[in-house]
């Protein structure tokens, strides 16, 4: 049997994530996958929250390695949003896993350095650049949580089903947007990013 390591536990956790989603990652399932007793896991990781931190850090290292192209600050915001979304979508339940975690190494923590630098170089105060990145991260994470949840049960999220549930006479506008509500996640995401960019531009000009 191979020596049990933290990296081996994290790798096994990603395998379980791919197979069964976030709910599949349990101490018992990990122990069975690795051929050890569950108690052995806690020598390397104190709890499941620590495991989630490790996994989120692996994901954010991918974010750091994604090159942000040259361009104005608006392009930096767009690219940062696109890179983060791509990383979260790469993993089953990736956004739920990432949400609320604590990054544990300098490389992952430094994922914000380039956007902060480019925004402050463009004239944003550092605190405003930080708030912009926090808002962007919250938007991307939340939108991907919704996107991945809907993708996991597509039969529940159809325009036809939504039309059936809504009383069109009482809520005509709510009914009218059913197709847009359940579809076109790329379009909805792009709209949100552009709205954030426009808001930041207005704030910068004020």
What is the CATH classification number for the domain harbouring 114? 1.10.357.10
Residue 54 lies in a domain: no
Give the pLDDT band (50/70/90) at residue 1: low
Q: Report the C-alpha gap between 88 and 17 in whole angstroms.
A: 13
Tell me the Cα Rg of the chain. 20
Q: What pLDDT shows up at residue 122? A: 95
Residue 15 lies in a domain: no
Over residues 33-82, the pLDDT tens digits come to 999 998 999 999 999 999 999 999 999 998 888 878 888 999 999 999 99
Using a CB cutoff of 8 Å and minimum separation of 24, what contacts does 154-162 make?
Answer: 157/182, 158/182, 159/183
Residue 73 lies in a domain: yes
Contact present, 106 and 165 (Cβ < 8 Å) = no
Residue 183 lies in a domain: yes
* Residue 119: pLDDT over 70: yes
* Residue 151: pLDDT over 60: yes
Give the pLDDT band (50/70/90) at residue 131: very high
Residue 9 lies in a domain: no
Give the pLDDT band (50/70/90) at residue 170: very high
Residue 28 lies in a domain: no
Contact present, 95 and 137 (Cβ < 8 Å) = no
- Number of domains within the chain: 1
Over residues 81-100, the pLDDT tens digits come to 999 999 999 999 999 999 99
Q: What pLDDT shows up at residue 2? A: 64
Q: Report the C-alpha gap between 25 and 92 in whole angstroms.
A: 12
Residue 165 lies in a domain: yes
Q: What pLDDT shows up at residue 186? A: 94
Q: Which two tokens stand for residue 95?
A: 């956004």
How does the average pLDDT of the chain come out, rounded? 93
Residue 142 lies in a domain: yes
User: Which domain covers residue 200, as residue numbers?
Assistant: 67-205
């Amino acid at each position: 049997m191979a020596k049990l390591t933290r990296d081996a536990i994290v790798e096994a956790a990603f395998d379980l994530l791919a197979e069964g989603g976030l709910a599949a990652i349990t101490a018992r399932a990990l122990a069975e996958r690795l051929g050890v007793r569950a108690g052995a896991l806690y020598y390397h990781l104190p709890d499941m929250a620590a495991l989630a931190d490790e996994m989120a850090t692996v994901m954010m290292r991918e974010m750091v390695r994604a090159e942000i192209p040259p361009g104005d600050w608006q392009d930096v915001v767009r690219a940062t949003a696109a890179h983060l979304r791509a990383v979260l979508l790469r993993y089953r339940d990736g956004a739920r896993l990432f949400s609320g975690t604590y990054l544990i190494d300098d490389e992952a923590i430094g994922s914000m350095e380039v956007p902060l630098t480019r925004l402050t170089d463009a004239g944003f105060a550092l605190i405003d650049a930080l708030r912009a990145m926090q808002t962007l991260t919250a938007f991307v994470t939340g939108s991907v949580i919704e996107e991945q949840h809907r993708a996991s049960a597509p039969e529940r999220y159809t325009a036809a089903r939504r039309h059936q549930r809504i009383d069109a006479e009482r809520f005509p506008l709510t009914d009218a947007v059913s197709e847009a509500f359940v579809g076109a996640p790329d379009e909805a995401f792009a709209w949100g990013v552009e709205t954030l960019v426009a808001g930041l531009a207005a704030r910068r000009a004020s």
